[in-house]
Amino acid sequence: MREYLYLKRHSLEGWRRLAESTHAPQAQRLLKQAESHHDSLPPLEHPSDSITYIGTAVLNLALASLLTGDERHLRSARRWIGRAISYPHWGKERMPDHDLDAAWLLFGLGLGYDWLKEALPPDEREALRDKLILQGQKLYDFALASAGNWWSSAYWQNHNWICYGGLATAAYALCKEYSPAAAWAARARDNFIQSLAYMPEDGSNYEGPVYWRYGVIWFLIYADLLQQETGEDLHDSEFLKNTFYYRLYLSGPNLIDTANFGDCHDRRSAHTAAVYARLAGLYDIGEAQWLYHHFYASGEWEREGAEGLVKPGLRAEAGLEFLWYQPAVEASPIKNLPRSRVFPDLGLVTMRSAWAADAVSMAFKCGAPNGLKAWHSGHALNKGRGWQTLSAGHDHPDANSFILISGDDYLAVDDGYAREKRSRNHSTLLIDGRGQYAGGGKNAFRGLDERWGARLEACTACDDVVYARGEAARAYDPDLALRQFTREVLFLGGDAVALRDTVQADAPHRYEWLLQMDGPPAREGDRCFSLESGETDCRLHALQPVDFCHRVYEQEITANPTSAKPDWIISSTQYALALSPPAPVCDCNFFIIMDLAGFAIESRRAERGLLASLVRDERHWLVGFATGKDGILAEGLNVDGRWFAGRRSGEEWDVALAGDVTSIWLDGALHFAADRPVDVAMQRTTAGTVANVSAPDGAWIRVKGKPPGSLSPNGRNGKLRYDTLTGMAWVQAPAGKSELVLG
């Protein structure tokens, strides 16, 4: 029985039965896409534009021909193949024969050759085979010649995955007729094994959600191809298991808009039906299956197919979607997932008030360029082999920056795709007008060594309240003598965001705290600015420094997303609010509250630390940060940690969080104690008091609440004691995270 490349999970008859039963909707979308190519052809001469779409067009036409036997699909496939092989080079404006255009065509036409070889006239079959050999050999030779430089060894770059994926597909299509193709397949295998080993276990991608949507699919393409051809399984990858959640948690409240860190063509072109179908099936991810079907029901896939800026695009992936869909995976609504998630390698924390379209979401980023694993592994490779493997052109100098979205409205924005990567386009800090790393060009990290790099230091979450802390002093030029740039973020559900920056240097500087917006702010009083976006009104309250100056500047952000189409320029207008002390200083504190719910906000007098209250009717937030090692002390509050956030409704404290703390006193009553510093998040629920404790070395803890109760340290039960005199539970929490539940 004839076996077809990439179709070996079922016989051809088996695929045809699926197309008429469980995969009928996917098959119909494939046929519709194939039919869209019947009355069109690429131009006679290679355009000054990408031709990657030719590869997917041939794939979809060839697969449609196999499934239906319809001669129209075969005729169109032959016409598209003929036009593609008539081009003397694959790729025109950017690295002809040696980059993405060649790779996409090797992939699509390689599959087309295998699937249609019996149906093609001998002369057409030979012409296609010879062209695949020619182009595959050129790409392979370039990979050898450029080893240690550009995509050949840039293990974290989409060009690497795409080029080796296309080369491998052509190799398996040709290996029985062209023996040198075995070397192509072997090099691709070695590369993907190395690339997957270097990818971060948390599933994140420094290039951002749009390039994630464009590039990560090639790991799935190749792993599927290799397993079918050799039986070798690369799917046991923590990166692949977790990467769906990276994309999901960067979604805005409406799930369509995106926290667009990295290079992003726009704020929406970042979803992919084929990838969600594949990840759901591979790893039994019910949320991926739910989102896949939800976007069909909502019409998002139709919109993305028509408007998406990433090419070849969603519709072009119809064949892969058909091949990868697994109907047996049970959909699980995303509302059951936690509201926050940490991606430590990238230094990314995402949070939201709810899984709802009218919720508030925030993403905070403070990590090393390329991500921690890539930055240091890449430098180790470079030093050991004399290579240049790090190509961080799609990353930005945005340490300690954030994106804030309320419903459909962006309140703090990112510049997305930018020709020049500059910190002044992000909500972070400028020092004497200077930003982070080597900002200003396409690659803000070129030539920098491993001594540079920011990091995420901490994150604590309690339902919709989240604390995160980043340290970015090493993101700035050493000649600034910056000793500290610590940003602390408190996300108070859908109510407000508190930000505290601690900046210290050995010489005086002019520090500018930046907030990026789609429209200009309006000043309201001495310390307040109005930030309006769509239906959302937000007030920014600058509580520290006591004296400050401000300016607003407008900037045009432009980029050419691909040099394969030099005349394609995307642009946007952005406004920045800059706050700074009136004169240069060595040390500075910024304490900012962004109010989304109409609170009365004021600084509270504190004997120790910085403290602010947010009051609206019976709802009262208290937020504090230590200014030294002596904690936070004020009327009604005594916390020996470095930060505190509490919410009170009437006389009862609903939520209390603190970091690096051994005791929390609220209104004269002890609520928490530990025998060594821990992070704690306590919440009063209908089930009682729930306390989540993170204790690096283990700790004895006491928590205010009522018996009975239980402790679940790292999934195990622990013995609980109860002190009736103080009304507190007493228990030993092991190292790691534990959850204590009291009646």
Separation of alpha carbons 480 and 472, rounded Å: 13
What contacts 71, CB < 8 A, 6 or more positions away? none
**Range 668-742 classified under CATH 3.30.70.270:** no
Query: Which of 269, 267, 211, 268 lies closest to 243, judged by CA?
Result: 211
What residue spans of 69-146 are helical by DSSP H? Answer: 71-86, 100-116, 122-145
Token representation of residue 722: 């109860």
Our CA angle for 64, 69, 75, nearest 5°, is 70
Model confidence pLDDT, tens digit, residues 136-191: 999 999 999 999 989 999 999 999 999 999 999 999 999 999 999 999 999 999 99
Our CA angle for 551, 552, 556, nearest 5°, is 140
What residue spans of 199-272 are helical by DSSP H? Answer: 209-215, 217-230, 238-249
pLDDT of residue 394: 93
Separation of alpha carbons 293 and 589, rounded Å: 47
Model confidence pLDDT, tens digit, residues 485-518: 999 999 999 999 999 999 999 999 999 999 999 9
Classify strands 360-365 and 348-352 as parallel, antiparallel or unpaired.
Answer: antiparallel
Q: Cβ distance 663 to 672 under 8 Å?
A: yes
Query: Which of 193, 203, 199 lies closest to 168, judged by CA?
Result: 193
Token representation of residue 312: 């070849």
Angle formed by the axes of helices 273-283 and 217-230, nearest 10°: 50
241 half-sphere exposure, CB direction, 13 A CA radius: 8
Task: Match 């230590």 to its residue by tokens.
Answer: 626
Task: Match 């540079």 to its residue by tokens.
Answer: 452
Q: Cβ distance 377 to 426 under 8 Å?
A: no
| Mean pLDDT confidence for 662-680 | 96
Query: Which of 254, 432, 158, 212 lies closest to 343, judged by CA?
Result: 212
Three-state secondary structure call for residue 390: coil
Angle formed by the axes of helices 52-68 and 24-35, nearest 10°: 120
| Mean pLDDT confidence for 13-26 | 98
Three-state SS for 25-61 is HHHHHHHHHHHCCCCCCCCCCCCCCCCHHHHHHHHHH
Three-state SS for 326-389 is CCCCCCCCHHHCCCCEEECCCCEEEEECCCCCCCEEEEEECCCCCCHHHHHHHHHHHHHHCCEC
Query: Is the previous residue joined to 708 through a cis bond, with omega within 30 degrees of 0?
Result: yes
Residue 715 has pLDDT above 60, yes or no: no
Separation of alpha carbons 80 and 480, rounded Å: 58
- Give the type of residue at 51: I
Q: Cβ distance 484 to 409 under 8 Å?
A: no
Residue 716 has pLDDT above 70, yes or no: no
Query: Which of 69, 60, 2 lies closest to 31, judged by CA?
Result: 60
The end-to-end CA distance of the chain, in Å, is 66
Model confidence pLDDT, tens digit, residues 435-482: 999 998 899 999 999 999 999 999 999 989 999 999 999 999 999 999
Q: Cβ distance 215 to 310 under 8 Å?
A: no
**Range 200-337 classified under CATH 1.50.10.100:** yes
For the chain, give every residue range classified as CATH 2.60.40.1180: 668-742
Model confidence pLDDT, tens digit, residues 408-442: 999 999 999 999 999 999 999 999 999 999 998 89
User: What are the distances in angstroms from CA 495 to CA 521, 533, 611, 616?
Assistant: 20, 16, 17, 10
The topology under which CATH files domain 1-198 is: Glycosyltransferase (1.50.10)
Model confidence pLDDT, tens digit, residues 559-609: 998 888 888 999 999 999 999 999 999 999 999 999 999 999 999 999 999
Residue 710 has pLDDT above 70, yes or no: no
For the chain, give every residue range classified as CATH 1.50.10.100: 1-198, 200-337
Q: What share of the chain has pLDDT > 70, as a percent?
A: 98
| Mean pLDDT confidence for 200-220 | 97
Q: What share of the chain has pLDDT > 90, as a percent?
A: 89
CB count in 10 Å sphere of residue 96: 17
**Range 341-597 classified under CATH 2.70.98.70:** yes
Token representation of residue 367: 């990590």
pLDDT of residue 742: 82
Token representation of residue 13: 């008859």
Strands in 360-365's sheet, in edge-to-edge order, are 341-343, 348-352, 360-365, 401-406, 409-412
Three-state secondary structure call for residue 191: helix
Separation of alpha carbons 497 and 490, rounded Å: 6
Q: Cβ distance 305 to 314 under 8 Å?
A: yes
pLDDT of residue 718: 60
Burial (CB count within 10 angstroms: exposed 0-12, middle 13-18, buried 19+), residue 235: middle
For the chain, give every residue range classified as CATH 2.70.98.70: 341-597
Helices (H) and strands (E) in the chain, counts: 16, 31
Three-state secondary structure call for residue 189: helix
